[in-house]
Amino acid sequence: MKKQGLVIMNDFTPMIAVQQPSPFAFFFSFCSGIFNMKHLITAVIFICSTTVHAQQTNAAVDTGYEKVLKDRTAKIVNTLDIKDAGLYNKVQQQLVNQYIALNAIQNDTKAAITNIKAQQQDKAAADAAIKNANDKKAIALKDLHNKFIAALKTSLTDDQVEKIKDGMTYRVLPITWAAYLDMLPKLTQQQKDTMYTWLVEARELAMDEGTSDAKHAVFGKYKGRINNYLSSQGYDMKKEGEDWAKRKQAEKEKQPNQNQPE
């Protein structure tokens, strides 16, 4: 599905589209070797009809794009148990706007880096320019993130804001946290606090990524940090994982077969 200037992909992530030639460029090219009025009128009619068609097509695409975002953000807002229709619509639109703004920042940075790599310059200069582009992206994302959360807190409870954060990151934090607690029942409070702080940090960063893979990659990085930390605390994570899998299998086998008649 395409939107003017955007291409909609999985995870409703717009990417920058290739700029199409303007009808006016065609007009001047067409007219450069033609001097009779008949051909000139034909060119003008072509431009007008093309412009009208583009506007009609873009209007239809805008409606479809909006529907995709509305449908998917509704799944997040539905978890908030909002009774007031006005508040529901307000929060949903805030989510839609956030996704659009996030993707704009991500895609602007991609375009800038692509342009840097295409230029003829030495590797050191290119690396410095790319770092500068990424630094600007990080600042823009942090500013957008903070404003988004502040806006949500004006009309939602802390618990509802937490649900939005989890919804935007596929609930990786609560699922991962529950797994760690189940796998390692003897964790100290200090160990739990350290691990949870890192998972929360991962979620805040993952919220600002534009695709599912990018969001999971952020959590993957922090899970690696947590596992290294637990190893330094004396845990053999490979053995702990294997033992946990055996316990889960034993629990599963103890459950009655629901397909078996009573």
125-135 pLDDT per residue, tens: 999 999 999 99
Boundary-marking domain end, from 161, 184, 202: 161
Domain match, 18 and 90 both: yes
Q: Quick one: what percent of the chain has pLDDT higher than 70? A: 73
The burial class, CB within 10 Å (0-12 / 13-18 / 19+), for 239 is: exposed
Distance of CA 55 to the CA centre of its chain: 28
Query: What is residue 6's predicted lDDT score, i.e. its pLDDT?
Result: 41
Domain final residue pick, 122, 138, 161: 161
16-43 pLDDT, tens digit each? 233 333 433 333 343 444 334 444 333 3
Is 260 inside a domain boundary?
Answer: no
Closest of 168, 150, 174 to residue 208, by C-alpha: 168
**Between 121 and 210, the higher pLDDT residue:** 210
Residues 19 and 137 in one domain: yes
List, for residues 79-103, the tens digit of each pLDDT value: 999 999 999 999 999 999 999 899 8
**102 and 179, same domain (yes or no):** no
Query: Does 262 fall in a domain?
Result: no
Q: How many domains does the chain have?
A: 2
- Cα dist from 9 to 4, 55, 68, 208, 211, whole Å: 14, 22, 11, 17, 9
What interhelical angle do 85-118 and 37-77 show, nearest 10? 120
The answer to whether residue 258 sits within a structural domain is no
Residue 46 is predicted with a pLDDT of 37
Q: Please, where are the H alpha helices in the chain?
A: 23-31, 37-77, 85-118, 123-153, 158-168, 172-183, 189-206, 212-232, 237-254
pLDDT confidence of residue 1: 42
Structure tokens at 43: 């060119």
| Cβ proximity of 204 and 138 under 8 Å | no
Tell me the pLDDT of the chain averaged across its residues: 80
Q: How far, CA to CA in Å, does 255 sit from each of 32, 110, 132, 245?
A: 81, 51, 56, 16
User: Which of 105, 130, 161 is a domain's end point?
Assistant: 161
Report pLDDT for 254: 87
Structural domain boundaries, residue 98 = 2-161
- Residue 82 sits in the same domain as residue 125: yes
